[in-house]
């Protein structure tokens, strides 16, 4: 591929994203929740498992422990039993209880609405904070997960695409600089959906890919 200017790359990004908007017109958070606390808990639980699996345990968890204070005072064994199907249930229970205690003691049980406050909570990194900001509060957030990392690398939407271990914060900064804030959350959703549906980690389906005409990695990923 001939070296692409920054302007040409950004134009291509917007063209490719327009196609993803058509393919995924109404993306949604795959985790089930009905308030910010539930989404925060579900997102923390989703580490090293699937959203679908998390959705199988959270109804019971949320019903049994509706408030942060309930979870903060929980018997760990009871929480472990509920989230057992997710794996790593002992460490996840420990994290959840620590998070609930911090929420209860420092924020009156309410989930805070800023990146700084969210990431001050134990076990909450930028990815989780961006999920909560964007999906629970409607505050622009761009969660960078493994799908976002892979897809933006193959499409060369980011300058560090050759890097085997790119810095997620740098990826977030570079990609969000190219799109309006109001688009960030859906952009992340669409890249994740696209990564799951077509641009798979092992065998990307370049033959059927709607972006194959312009993707620099088409047929070579």
**Please, which residue, 99 or 187, has the CB nearer to ligand SF4?**
187
Q: Which is nearer to ligand SF4, 112 or 204 (CB)?
A: 204
CA distance 221 to 217: 5
Least separation in angstroms between residue 11's CB and ligand SF4 is 17
User: Which residues, including other chains, have CB under 8 Å from residue 1's CB and lie 6 or more apart?
Assistant: 216
For ligand SF4, give the closer residue by CB, 35 or 214: 214
- Which of these, 142, 146, 154, lies nearest to 189 by C-alpha position? 142
- On whether the CB atoms of residues 143 and 149 are closer than 8 A, the answer is no
Residue 199 assigned ligand-binding role: yes
Nearest approach in angstroms of CB 163 to ligand SF4 is: 17
Catalytic site positions = 127, 145
Residue 215 known to bind ligand = yes
Most distant CA atoms of the chain, gap in Å: 61
DSSP 8-state secondary structure symbol assigned to residue 156: T
Q: What is the sign of the dihedral through the CA atoms of 86, 91, 96 and 99?
A: negative
Binding site for ligand SF4 (CB under 6 A): 154-155, 198-199, 204-206, 209, 211-212, 215, 217-218, 221
Q: Least Å distance between CB 198 and ligand SF4?
A: 5
- Residue 48 has φ and ψ, to the nearest 5°, of 60, 25
29 annotated as ligand-binding:
no
Annotated binding site for [4Fe-4S] cluster: 199, 206, 209, 215
């Amino acid at each position: 591929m001939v070296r692409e200017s920054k302007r040409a790359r950004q134009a291509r990004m917007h063209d490719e994203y327009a196609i993803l908007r058509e393919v995924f017109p109404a993306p949604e958070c795959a985790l089930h929740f009905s308030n910010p606390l539930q989404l925060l808990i579900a997102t923390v639980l989703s580490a090293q498992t699937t959203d679908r699996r998390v959705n199988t345990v959270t109804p019971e968890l949320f019903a049994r422990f509706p408030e942060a204070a309930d979870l903060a005072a929980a018997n760990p064994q009871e929480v472990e039993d509920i989230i057992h199907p997710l794996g790593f249930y002992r460490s996840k229970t420990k994290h959840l209880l620590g998070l609930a205690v911090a929420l209860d003691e420092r924020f009156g049980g309410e989930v805070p609405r800023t990146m700084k406050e969210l990431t001050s909570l134990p076990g909450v990194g930028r990815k989780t904070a961006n999920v909560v900001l964007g999906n629970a509060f409607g505050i622009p957030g761009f969660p960078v997960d493994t799908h976002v990392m892979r897809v933006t690398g193959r499409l060369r939407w980011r300058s560090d695409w050759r890097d085997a271990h790119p810095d997620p914060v740098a990826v977030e900064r570079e990609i969000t600089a190219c799109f309006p804030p109001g688009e960030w959350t859906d952009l992340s959703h669409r890249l994740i959906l696209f990564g799951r549906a077509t641009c798979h980690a092992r065998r990307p389906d370049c033959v059927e890919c709607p972006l194959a005409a312009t993707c620099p990695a088409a047929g070579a990923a």
